[in-house]
């Protein structure tokens, strides 16, 4: 496989290089430093991303039908962009503050039967936009198929680490897009996965370089277009 130079790629090239596989397709986009830190000194992924990562991030956003994000990430990163439908995944069902005043249908919540904020979230987002998909945890395979039935067949997850781990463990993630920035941070930072052990092989499909930043496209397990 040839190493691609980001500076030589147009936006149309990126759209083609990152074309999704057979639908429904779910990919997860994550970033870390060379020593594995998934957050910067500010405790957010924004503390380590750079222009190269932003270009691929924007490509993946442009291509997807909807963005799926863990409630922890939506809270920490103060998510508020709903230019693509945003699907929150959380056991408690709480909608973060910055997403409470969004147009109807722009935010969906995937949660569990006993979610403490279920009634409030149904009132806030509309009952059709609250997906109850499990008792103690969200059944992520069902989430993928329910979203596909709604026309969201190409899904982009932006993490975070617990959600990535669960998506991989449950065989729901088809692809990982991982940016490695040329920095070392040491200290205590999460990795791009968190939670109980998993052991899933990945197949490298694409590698792009930009001034030492590596942008990889990997298929998860046996998933391939």
Ligand X SMILES: NC(=O)c1ccc[n+]([C@@H]2O[C@H](COP(=O)([O-])OP(=O)(O)OC[C@H]3O[C@@H](n4cnc5c(N)ncnc54)[C@H](OP(=O)(O)O)[C@@H]3O)[C@@H](O)[C@H]2O)c1
Binding site for ligand X (CB under 6 A): 30-32, 38-39, 43-45, 70-73, 76-77, 89-92, 94, 137-138, 140, 158-163, 166, 190, 192, 194
**Residue nearest ligand X by beta-carbon distance:** 70
| Between 24 and 134, CB nearer to ligand X | 134
Q: Are 169 and 196 within 8 A, CB to CB?
A: yes
Give least dist CB 203 to ligand X, A: 20
| Between 20 and 190, CB nearer to ligand X | 190
Residue 11, classified by CB atoms within 10 Å of its CB into exposed (0-12), middle (13-18) or buried (19+), is exposed
Give least dist CB 115 to ligand X, A: 8
| Between 70 and 85, CB nearer to ligand X | 70
* CA–CA gap between residue 84 and residue 64 (Å, rounded): 8
Q: Are 7 and 137 within 8 A, CB to CB?
A: no
Give least dist CB 10 to ligand X, A: 25
42 to 39, 62, 197: CA distances (angstroms): 7, 27, 27
Residue 128, classified by CB atoms within 10 Å of its CB into exposed (0-12), middle (13-18) or buried (19+), is exposed
| Between 46 and 224, CB nearer to ligand X | 46
| Between 13 and 120, CB nearer to ligand X | 120
Give least dist CB 185 to ligand X, A: 12
* CA–CA gap between residue 105 and residue 84 (Å, rounded): 10
Specify the DSSP class assigned to residue 20. Answer: -
CA atoms within 13 A on the CB side of 175: 25
Give least dist CB 140 to ligand X, A: 6
| Between 76 and 106, CB nearer to ligand X | 76
Give least dist CB 2 to ligand X, A: 26
């Amino acid at each position: 496989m040839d190493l691609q130079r980001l500076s030589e790629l147009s936006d149309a090239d990126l759209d083609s290089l990152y074309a999704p596989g057979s639908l429904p397709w779910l990919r997860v986009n994550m970033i870390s430093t060379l020593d594995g830190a998934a957050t910067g000194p500010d405790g957010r992924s924004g503390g380590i991303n750079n222009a190269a990562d932003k270009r691929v991030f924007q490509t993946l956003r442009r291509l997807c039908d909807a963005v799926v994000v863990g409630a922890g990430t939506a809270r920490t990163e103060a998510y508020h962009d709903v230019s693509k439908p945003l699907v929150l995944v959380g056991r408690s069902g709480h909608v973060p503050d910055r997403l409470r005043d969004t147009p109807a249908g722009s935010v969906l919540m995937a949660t569990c039967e006993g979610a403490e904020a279920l009634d409030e979230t149904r009132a806030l987002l509309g009952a059709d936009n609250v997906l109850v998909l499990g008792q103690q945890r969200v059944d992520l395979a069902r989430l993928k198929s329910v979203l596909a039935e709604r026309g969201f067949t190409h899904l982009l997850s932006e993490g975070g680490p617990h959600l990535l781990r669960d998506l991989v463990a449950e065989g729901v993630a088809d692809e990982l897009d991982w940016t490695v920035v040329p920095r070392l941070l040491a200290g205590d930072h999460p990795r791009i996965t968190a939670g109980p052990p998993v052991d899933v092989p990945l197949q490298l499909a694409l590698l792009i370089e930009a001034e030492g930043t590596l942008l990889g496209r990997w298929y998860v397990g046996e998933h391939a277009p």
